[in-house]
Amino acid sequence: MSTRNKLQKFAEVLAFPNVFENFNAKDNILVGKDGQQVDFSNGWNDLFFKNDNPIILELACGRGEYSLELARRYPDKNFIGVDIKGARIWQGATFALKEKLGNIAFLRTRIEHISDFFKEGEIDEIWITFPDPFLRKSKANRRLTSPHFINHYRKILKQNGIVNLKTDSPQLYEYSMETLSSDDKCTILYTKDDIYKDELEYPDLDIKTYYEKMHLEDNRKIKYIRFSTHPQPFP
C-alpha cells in the first residue's frame, strides 16, 4: 500500500463514528469522531453501544474479519476490534458502517495499554487469532500470551471471562501451554493441536481469516487454546 493511500485512510478514519484512537502511549486519552475526546470511565456499553450486552474483544484484529463475522452472527453481543494499524482498522470499520453493524467498534491502540481503556471486569471474552508468534526468545515478552499480557487481560475480564487463541505456530502453542500451566490463576478449559482433525468443539472456530486460509493452503495445522485468566471449576 502506498504512503498516500495510508495517509488518506488515516484521515478518513478520524471521521468514522465507530473508531476510537489513542495517539499518545504516555496517556490514556481516547479520541473519537472528528478528534473529539471521549471518556469511557463508565464503560463502552454506557457511551457507545447503549445496551448491557456482553463485550467481546478481538486483539491484533487486523482488518477485523473475526469481529465482523461474530457481530453478524450475534446481534445481541458487542464486539471491539483492537489493533495499532490504522489502515487495517479502516477496512474493518468501513465494512461495519456499510453493513450498518451497530454492535461493533474499533480501538486503535497498543495492546500493552489495553487495560487503560476498559473498566475492571468489563470484558466477557477475548479472541486472539493468528498473532505474530515472535519466535526469537529475546521477544518472548511481546507474545500475546506472555505473562505481561495475561495480567492485562486479567484486569479487564470478568471472573468467568474466556480467552480464545487460534494459531498455526507450534512454538506459540507450546509456549502458551507452558505459560498458562505455570500461572496458578489461569485455567486451561480446552486445547487441541489440530482443530479440523475432528468435528469442531466450538462452532465459532469455523471463521477463517485471510491468514488462516493461507495457512490451510500450506497444510499447516490450526491449534486452539481456550482458557480463563481466573481460577475456574475443573472443566
Q: Note the pLDDT tens digit of each residue in 66-86.
A: 999 999 999 999 999 999 988
What does the angle CA 102 – CA 104 – CA 107 come to, to the nearest 5 degrees?
Answer: 135
Distance CA 10, CA 14 (A): 7
pTM of the model: 0.94
Provide the Cα torsion 76, 55, 94, 35; round to 10°.
130
Q: Are 143 and 175 in contact (CB under 8 A)?
A: yes
What's residue 50's pLDDT? Answer: 96
pLDDT higher at 149 or 5: 149
**How confident is the model over 184-208, as a mean pLDDT?**
96
Q: Which residues in 155-172 are b (16+ Cβ under 10 Å) and which e?
A: bbbbeebbbbbbbbbeeb
3-228 has which CATH code?
A: 3.40.50.150
Instruction: Check residue 2 and give its pLDDT.
Output: 56
pLDDT band (50, 70, 90) for residue 232? confident
| Confidence band for 47, pLDDT divided at 50, 70 and 90 | very high
For residue 115, the model assigns a pLDDT of 93
94-145 tens-digit pLDDT: 999 999 999 999 999 999 999 999 999 999 999 999 999 999 999 999 999 9
What residue ranges do the domains of the chain occupy? 3-228
Active site residues: 132
Name the band, by pLDDT with cuts 50, 70 and 90, for residue 10: confident
Helices (H), 39-132: 44, 65-73, 86-98
Q: What pLDDT is attached to residue 132?
A: 95
Torsion angle of alpha carbons 114, 102, 78, 96, nearest 10°? -60
Give the pLDDT of residue 3. Answer: 58
Residue 12's pLDDT band (cuts 50, 70, 90): confident
- What is the reported pLDDT for 11? 75
Distance CA 97, CA 67 (A): 13
In the block, cell 481469516 appears at 209
Residue 85, pLDDT score: 87
pLDDT score recorded for residue 9: 78
Whether 23 shows a pLDDT value over 90: the answer reads: no
